[in-house]
Amino acid sequence: MRGNGAGSDLRDLAVKYGFVDSNNEYDSMLHELNIRLAKEQMGSFRDTGQADIAAVEAIDDINETSNILSERLKEWYILNFEDTQLKGEELASSILGMKIEDNSDLEIMRSFSSSLLEHTERVNPSKNTSRKIWGI
């Protein structure tokens, strides 16, 4: 289908005014322009998709690290106190609420628990999502 502009054929106008030398050159130029435009459009989709994938992978890595750190917190708690069924967010909250004074390990665990809870809230503000990440 040939484009019309103000009642004139654009191909004929392009040739008439020296924009192109022939109909074939016009067709070739139009073809190349369409390919370039399609590639640019696809590139923007690809870049957006890659950015989204990278963001999801980064969050997955952060969540995996948080899970490992919460496991270490539980191990540390058991070494210093007693075995517990608490884990993740519940354990961190319990440690923050403990009323033991002058225990340097507990103070470090409190700081660690506070950081983990803050991270969980920052990365996953939904309570349901944070429970899923902590495995509870």
pLDDT at 118: 82
Q: 23 vs 131, which has greater pLDDT?
A: 23
Kindly report, residue by residue over 81-131, the tens digit of the pLDDT.
888 999 888 999 999 999 888 888 888 888 888 888 887 777 666 554 444
Q: 66 vs 8, which has greater pLDDT?
A: 66
Q: How far apart are CA 27 and CA 12, in angstroms?
A: 11
Neighbours of 112 (CB within 10 A): 17
pLDDT at 27: 84
pLDDT at 96: 92
pLDDT at 3 over 70: no
pLDDT at 6 over 50: no
Q: Domains plus CATH for the chain?
A: 4-134 (1.10.287)
The model's pTM: 0.52
CA nearest 87: which of 126, 121, 116, 59?
Answer: 116
Q: Which residues contact 40 (CB under 8 A, 6 or more apart)?
A: none
pLDDT at 91: 92
